[in-house]
Structure 1
Amino acid sequence: MTPDAVPLSGPEFQTEPARLYRRMRSEHGAVTPVLLDGGIPAWLVLGYRELHQVTGDPVLFSRDSDLWNQWENIPDDWPLLPMIGHKQPSILYTVGERHRERAAMISAALEGVDPAELRRHSERFADELIDAVCAEGEADLIGDYAMLLPVRVLARLYGVSDEEGPALVTALNDMIDGRERAIAGQAHLATAMAELLAARRERPADDVASRLLAGNRGFTDQEIAEDLMVMMAAGHQPTADWIGNSLRLMLTDERFAASLFGGRNSVAEAMNEVLWEDTPTQNVAGRWATRDTRLGGRRIRAGDLLLLGLQGANSDPQVRTHGSALTGGNNAHFSFGHGEHRCPFPAQEIAEVIARTGIEVVLDRLPDIDLAVPADALTRRPSPWLRGLTELPVRFTATPALKGG
């Protein structure tokens, strides 16, 4: 690894990630040497074409984390372990035909979700969350709303009881933030998914967990539980941040002002712009080189870890003009990944329905909504992986709750 490697941490990930990625690309090129927690070296792939190459070649750039040449330097309590996946038998780290079988099983289980039922659950839970704050005239649309909605919907679809929702939110956030409580968050989620599978093996129902068991292609219960963990984590936090980042855009950009007063045509446009400009999943770990190779002018050694710089690639000047808004029907961003390990299409559709419904319910239920603080006072969570707001304080005219109001 080069001596000028960039620490993958610091306040710029919260404040000015776009500027940080531009500087990395300017100083280091499309493939930047970085240091993870504890000084562990890796490569951050920021080039659109280079990222397309890495994600499109699972033989040369494998998802098998056992290939990593740094395992001897990784302590057991390393906070990024849940993001790397060592000894986790989930779909994220399965390769070849076994991965394709597993992906087909998961897609089938998710395709079984009824679109009308998904919309109903999303609207009902969104209305319940708004009911809890609408009479106050003010709310934090992150803590009171966006951070609660996706997991409540997903829990119902997967078969988890509503009572488990709050604890799952905490566990998921701890795990994804990659800080001191990451391992504990992962352990809680693993226990919850194992208990769900045990219950559904005894009492099958019309839910994702039951369909995974019914469509099992020879995987163990532990492997299926790991996949449920992945599906829950990938479905909740990025969707919550998609809601929050889209609402922030609509509340701070005058192009979307009409939508705040009854218009709805630009909700989808705002959501797509966020996927290009402010994507919830900024960086992903990762891929491992199966042999010595070259990428973006860099010499990559066998076993090197490559991090997928999704936001950096989305803003690559080779495919983007700085400041341009590639919205509308342009979906060539990397926000859902690419290649055989990309987010399954049924999962993308579920996330979009939850996010869009969540945004529309806010705009329908809270008239004359406006930011309660200056736009430049909004802050982001301290994560190099996901980009989401810590709070989104708003004010609005108080209205009665729908239930009992």
Structure 2
Amino acid sequence: MGPRFHTDLEALHRDMRRDHGPVVPVTLPGGVPAWLVIGYRELLRVTGDPLLFPRDQGLWNQWPNVPEDWPLRPMIGTPQPSVYFTVGEEHRRHLAMVQDALESVDHIELRRSTEEIADRLIDGFCGTGEAEIISAYARPLTILALARVLGFPDSEGPALIRSLSDMCDGGPDALTGFQDALAAMSRLVERAHHQTGADMISAMTAHPAPFTDEEYVLNLMALTSAGFLPTSDWLGNSVRLMLTDDRFAASLTGGRHSIPEAMNEVLWEDTPTQILAGRWAARDTRLAGRHIARGDMLLLGLAGANADPDAHTPHAADGLRNNNFAHFAFSHGEYQCPFPAQEIAEILARTGIEVLLDRLPGIELAVPAQALARRPSPFLRGMTVLPVRFETTPPHGGH
């Protein structure tokens, strides 16, 4: 939870590797011990072996030491029937329903809807010549677009932004944020029983396998919490990179050829989900010379593994990863982000960047790059604010 996660992550990982190797003993708030896996090969092993390292938090040997109001409970999870917190055949049952719902999303309609929301948001500030695009654009665009996909009305977007942000940041309001978001999911499921549409909740409730309302609610929570902040941070981190790195300057003059490269570079170097909880050892074992006891929790250090110097290094003359997609940004193995969800996130983030650059000529940072601050979350890596200035333009359509 220290400040170096947000100010000097590269050096922090380097020091961790020097002092502890690829599997690092860490202490979570309240003195709770865990292992942070930052080695690329070690993380590949952990995520690729669901029998030895299942996503079964019921195995955790620290539950007796964790208070009910522990702020990381929403991120660690308690045993519950959803795609994210089940194992084995039960996990595959939930995944089949969620996968079908994700595949029902019309990508052409999603892009059109995202462009429409993006234009509406930019209309609110394009005449001012300046904006803070995390709170005014990246977050509302992502949650409003996701809300439409899932079946939420637009009016619930602001409350979802607040509750999910509080939950994912792991601070004092995390549990309240979790309960508020859960209540919103419950209302959506209740509405779906009375009216259906071309949305994911309708596809979920129409799936042939039987599920309880609680299971629908918890799966919605998993999809929304996994999709909202990581996607808005992917958008924000990519724009930050393009505004601060000369390698991407060409795309700011109207070309789009650098946007995919910037987005992929972010997934390697500035990945929105930097730590993921977690896996639990099903039996005593060894990992990179460490004795891992049965029930120990392993935190997936996605950002640390991406930065492992023994794994992947840039090969292009400009130092970019380009077509190297072997990062851990979406995790790996049985519990990785489903591919249809990755596609949805990419459409949202890329469309948001394209519309922003099309609509705001001459966009540039309004503060020195070194003044930008990260949100104080050990799990997610995104900007607190991203102030920009640009040439004033009329609203969409010139009206």
For 1:331, the equivalent position in structure 2 comes to 325
Per-residue displacement from partner, 1:230-258 (whole Å, max 9, x unpaired)? 10111110000001100000000111111
Larger CA deviation: 304-313 vs 86-95: 86-95
Per-residue displacement from partner, 1:54-87 (whole Å, max 9, x unpaired)? 0011111011101100011100000000001113
Equivalent positions of 1:34-45 (< 5 A) are 34-45=26-37
2-structure distance, mates of 1:137, 1:220: 50
**SS of the counterpart of 2:84?**
helix
Unaligned runs of 5+ in 2: none
Runs of 4+ in 1 over 6 A off after TM superposition: none
Q: What's the TM-score once normalised by structure 1's chain length?
A: 0.96
Counterpart pick for 2:390 among 390, 396, 400? 396
1-structure distance, mates of 2:210, 2:60: 27
For 1:124, the equivalent position in structure 2 comes to 116
For 2:378, the equivalent position in structure 1 comes to 384
Contact 2:163/2:181 (CA < 8 Å) preserved in 1?
yes
Q: CA deviation at 1:273?
A: 0.2
For 1:15, the equivalent position in structure 2 comes to 7
Equivalent positions of 1:258-273 (< 5 A) are 258-273=250-265
For 1:257, the equivalent position in structure 2 comes to 249
2-structure distance, mates of 1:155, 1:308: 28
**SS of the counterpart of 1:89?**
coil
Equivalent positions of 1:274-285 (< 5 A) are 274-285=266-277
Contact 1:315/1:322 (CA < 8 Å) preserved in 2?
no
Counterpart pick for 1:194 among 186, 192, 205? 186
Q: CA deviation at 1:91?
A: 1.2
For 1:175, the equivalent position in structure 2 comes to 167
Q: CA deviation at 1:327?
A: 2.1
**SS of the counterpart of 1:210?**
helix
For 2:53, the equivalent position in structure 1 comes to 61
Contact 2:234/2:349 (CA < 8 Å) preserved in 1?
yes
**SS of the counterpart of 2:334?**
coil
**SS of the counterpart of 1:299?**
strand
Counterpart pick for 1:294 among 273, 286, 298? 286
Q: CA deviation at 1:323?
A: 9.9
2-structure distance, mates of 1:184, 1:386: 19
1-structure distance, mates of 2:50, 2:140: 35
Per-residue displacement from partner, 1:359-378 (whole Å, max 9, x unpaired)? 00110000001110001110
Q: Given residue 185 of structure 1, which amino acid in structure 2 is its aligned partner?
A: G
Contact 2:254/2:357 (CA < 8 Å) preserved in 1?
yes
The CA RMSD over aligned residues, in Å, is 1.2
Q: What's the TM-score once normalised by structure 2's chain length?
A: 0.98
2-structure distance, mates of 1:78, 1:88: 17
1-structure distance, mates of 2:320, 2:282: 35
**SS of the counterpart of 2:50?**
coil
Q: CA deviation at 1:404?
A: 6.5
Counterpart pick for 1:341 among 335, 343, 350? 335
Matched, 1:220 2:224: no
For 1:308, the equivalent position in structure 2 comes to 300
Counterpart pick for 1:95 among 63, 87, 91? 87
Q: CA deviation at 1:219?
A: 2.3
Q: Given residue 269 of structure 1, which amino acid in structure 2 is its aligned partner?
A: E
1-structure distance, mates of 2:313, 2:14: 13
Q: CA deviation at 1:402?
A: 1.1
2-structure distance, mates of 1:135, 1:356: 23
Compared CA separation, residues 189 and 323, structure 1 to 2 (3 A): farther
For 1:239, the equivalent position in structure 2 comes to 231
Q: CA deviation at 1:326?
A: 4.9
Q: Given residue 60 of structure 2, which amino acid in structure 1 is its aligned partner?
A: W
Q: CA deviation at 1:32?
A: 0.1
Per-residue displacement from partner, 1:247-277 (whole Å, max 9, x unpaired)? 0000001111110011100100000000000
Per-residue displacement from partner, 1:341-372 (whole Å, max 9, x unpaired)? 00000000000000000000110000001110
Matched, 1:49 2:41: yes
1-structure distance, mates of 2:11, 2:337: 27
1-structure distance, mates of 2:323, 2:24: 31
Q: CA deviation at 1:10?
A: 1.1
Per-residue displacement from partner, 1:117-173 (whole Å, max 9, x unpaired)? 000111001111111010000001111111111110010111100000000000000
1-structure distance, mates of 2:80, 2:92: 17
Q: Given residue 303 of structure 1, which amino acid in structure 2 is its aligned partner?
A: G
1-structure distance, mates of 2:79, 2:314: 41
2-structure distance, mates of 1:361, 1:403: 14
**SS of the counterpart of 2:278?**
strand
Aligned length: 397
Q: CA deviation at 1:320?
A: 3.0
For 2:369, the equivalent position in structure 1 comes to 375
Unaligned runs of 5+ in 1: 1-8
Counterpart pick for 1:359 among 333, 348, 353? 353
**SS of the counterpart of 1:91?**
coil
Contact 1:35/1:42 (CA < 8 Å) preserved in 2?
yes
2-structure distance, mates of 1:127, 1:322: 35
For 1:163, the equivalent position in structure 2 comes to 155
Q: CA deviation at 1:216?
A: 4.7
1-structure distance, mates of 2:9, 2:160: 28
Compared CA separation, residues 76 and 323, structure 1 to 2 (3 A): farther
Q: Given residue 315 of structure 1, which amino acid in structure 2 is its aligned partner?
A: A
Contact 1:379/1:389 (CA < 8 Å) preserved in 2?
yes
For 2:16, the equivalent position in structure 1 comes to 24
2-structure distance, mates of 1:326, 1:340: 29
